[in-house]
């Protein structure tokens, strides 16, 4: 089964006349439809808020679209906080979830009025020292340890994760924070990554709801929100069934009414921090075949590389590839699709069956809307690409220009060496 592209060959041929490959392209229509579905799925919860994981796609133009649907920002660093502030996202519209956090980042988050999510019990004293009086509203991150299973299959191993507090620690943390004047509490947990099942969120919610009931009963802390964090994934491979966010929302609602409502906690808000689910399928990397090599294997060299999309090199992650204009041709050629880095893992596909590829063909690498451009780097002196938005009216908007050599060398601008560079070549 072929995954469908949100852009046509004819559209791409017009785009590349102005914007050379490689570039990341995003689908405004898909983003908006998904945001609306997310909002509707949790409309039953009066306080619901999605805090988009800025780390996934840190582009203000895209985040502004989500802001139109009432979404906030999940930040984990100083610069992500800066980005959020620059687009007018401040106060309780920011959830600051970080780990091994420098004092100045806590200080800035507090200055912006963000809800701070503490990763460890020792961070209570550290935060207090950094900002003085603790905020009235605070969250703690929970890690139950062990493995987390859905449908009798092991999904992830929280016990090996560096994030969050143990159950005894979170009880003690709530007591300490309450004694220090904190009035509004939240619970946060991330137990599995990229789950493609409608059961993950409801199962996680049940665990956190039960914890919340015990915490409120035993510590007297007023729990105002429960943050289900991320983990709702997308189908990277053809034929995989996507998550149904409305079914997920309904599953969480049922557990809410089973656990929280009888405990008199039906005013607890539900928060989410989705990145991949919100943006992943609505971005793609567009690249051009520029070389072919016939040695021990058949290689197609493209003008993108792991700088543009790191996941296949880093994780061996699968990203589907469409050869534009050849969607209906048989996939009877086996290729490694490679970039130009001096690293043998710089491959977008290994032994992938594709239609015959010729130099000049445009390739669309799917599902790069999250953790695609964001994970880029500059190894080999490679420059990061432009980002473009395919708007609902069919027009193209440049939402990030491509890097230039001047950008690459900019951190040398305090040295004479910089003056001798000709960055206009």
Encode pLDDT of 70-110 as tens digits.
999 999 999 999 999 999 999 999 999 999 999 999 999 99
Percentage of the residues of the chain whose pLDDT score is greater than 90: 89
Sorted by where each begins, the domain ranges of the chain are 28-280, 281-412
Q: What share of the chain is helix, strand, coil (3-state, %, to 5)?
A: 35, 25, 40
User: CB under 8 Å, gap of 24 or more: what pairs does 27-31 form?
Assistant: 27/282, 27/283, 27/369, 27/390, 28/65, 28/389, 28/390, 28/391, 28/392, 29/390, 29/392, 30/6, 30/281, 30/282, 31/62, 31/65, 31/66, 31/278, 31/279, 31/282
What's residue 53's pLDDT? 97
For residue 118, is pLDDT > 50?
A: yes
Per DSSP bridges, beta strands 137-141 and 115-118 are parallel
Burial of residue 81, with CB atoms counted within 10 A of its CB: 0-12 exposed, 13-18 middle, 19 or more buried: buried
CATH topology for 281-412 is Lyase, Ornithine Decarboxylase; Chain A, domain 1 (2.40.37)
Annotated catalytic, 342?
Answer: yes
120-161 pLDDT, tens digit per residue, is: 999 999 999 999 999 999 999 999 876 767 664 545 666 676
Q: Which residue has the tokens 């491959």?
A: 347
For residue 424, is pLDDT > 90?
A: no
Rounded Cα distance between 135 and 116, Å, is: 9
42-60 pLDDT, tens digit per residue, is: 999 999 999 999 999 999 9
What's residue 360's pLDDT? 98
Q: Does domain 28-280 have CATH number 3.20.20.10?
A: yes
Lowest-confidence region among 11-20, 272-281, 413-422: 413-422
What's residue 152's pLDDT? 47
Rounded Cα distance between 101 and 387, Å, is: 30
Q: Would you tell me how many other CB atoms lie within 10 Å of the CB of residue 130?
A: 17
**pLDDT category, 1, cuts 50, 70, 90?**
low
**Contact, 276 vs 290, CB < 8 A?**
no
What's residue 190's pLDDT? 87
Which one from 73, 75, 331, 342 is the annotated catalytic residue?
342
Q: What does the pLDDT average to over 369-396?
A: 97
What's residue 162's pLDDT? 80
Contacts of 169 (CB under 8 A, 6+ apart): 120, 121
Rounded Cα distance between 188 and 51, Å, is: 12
Rounded Cα distance between 161 and 163, Å, is: 5
**DSSP 8-state class, residue 97:** E
Q: What does the pLDDT average to over 256-281?
A: 98
Average pLDDT, the chain: 95
What's residue 419's pLDDT? 81
**Cis peptide leading into residue 273 (ω within 30°):** no
What's residue 154's pLDDT? 46
What's residue 215's pLDDT? 97
What would the two tokens of residue 79 be? 């610069």
173-207 pLDDT, tens digit per residue, is: 999 999 999 999 999 998 888 899 999 999 999 99
Burial of residue 106, with CB atoms counted within 10 A of its CB: 0-12 exposed, 13-18 middle, 19 or more buried: buried
More confidently predicted of 388 and 421? 388
List, in sequence order, the alpha helices (H) in 294-389: 311-315
Q: What does the pLDDT average to over 222-239?
A: 96
What's residue 158's pLDDT? 67
271-323 pLDDT, tens digit per residue, is: 999 999 999 999 999 999 999 999 999 999 999 999 999 999 999 999 999 99
Q: Which of 56, 154, 36 is nearest to 97 (CA)?
A: 56
């Amino acid at each position: 089964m072929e995954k469908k592209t949100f852009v046509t060959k004819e559209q791409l041929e017009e785009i590349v006349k102005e914007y050379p490959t490689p570039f990341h392209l995003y689908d405004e229509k898909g983003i908006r439809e998904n945001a609306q579905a997310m909002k509707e799925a949790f409309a039953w919860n009066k306080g619901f808020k999605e805090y988009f994981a800025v780390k996934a796609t840190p582009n203000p133009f895209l985040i502004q679209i989500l802001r139109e649907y009432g979404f906030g920002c999940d930040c984990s660093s100083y610069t992500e906080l800066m980005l959020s502030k620059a687009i007018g996202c401040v106060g309780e519209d920011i959830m600051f979830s970080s780990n091994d956090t420098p004092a100045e980042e806590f200080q800035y988050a507090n200055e912006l009025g963000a809800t701070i999510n503490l990763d460890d019990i020792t961070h209570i004293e550290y935060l207090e020292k950094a900002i003085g009086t603790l905020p009235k509203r605070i969250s703690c991150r929970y890690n139950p340890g062990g493995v987390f299973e859905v449908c009798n299959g092991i999904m992830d191993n929280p016990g090996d994760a560096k994030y969050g507090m143990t159950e005894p620690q979170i009880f003690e943390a709530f007591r300490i924070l309450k004694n220090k004047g904190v009035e509004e509490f939240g619970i946060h947990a991330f137990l599995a990554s990229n789950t493609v099942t409608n059961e993950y969120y409801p199962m996680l919610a049940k665990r956190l709801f039960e914890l919340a009931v015990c915490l409120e009963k035993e510590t007297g802390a007023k729990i105002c929100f429960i943050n289900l964090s991320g983990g709702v994934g997308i189908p990277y491979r053809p034929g995989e069934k996507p998550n149904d966010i409305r079914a997920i929302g309904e599953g969480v609602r049922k557990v809410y009414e089973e656990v929280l409502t009888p405990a008199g906690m039906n005013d607890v808000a539900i928060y989410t921090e989705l990145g991949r689910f919100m943006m992943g399928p609505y971005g793609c990397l567009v690249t051009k075949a520029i070389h072919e090599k016939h040695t021990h294997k058949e290689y197609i060299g493209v003008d993108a590389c792991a700088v543009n999309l790191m996941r296949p090199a880093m994780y061996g992650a699968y990203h589907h590839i469409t050869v534009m204009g050849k969607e209906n041709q048989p996939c009877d050629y086996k290729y490694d699709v490679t970039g130009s880095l001096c690293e043998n893992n710089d491959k977008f596909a290994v032994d992938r069956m594709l239609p015959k590829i010729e130099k000049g063909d445009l390739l669309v690498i799917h599902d790069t809307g999250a953790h695609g451009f964001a994970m880029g780097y500059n190894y080999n002196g490679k420059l990061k690409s432009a980002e473009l938005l395919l708007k609902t009216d069919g027009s193209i908007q440049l939402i990030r220009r491509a890097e230039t050599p001047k950008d690459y060398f900019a951190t040398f601008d305090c040295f004479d060496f910089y003056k001798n560079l000709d960055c206009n070549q």
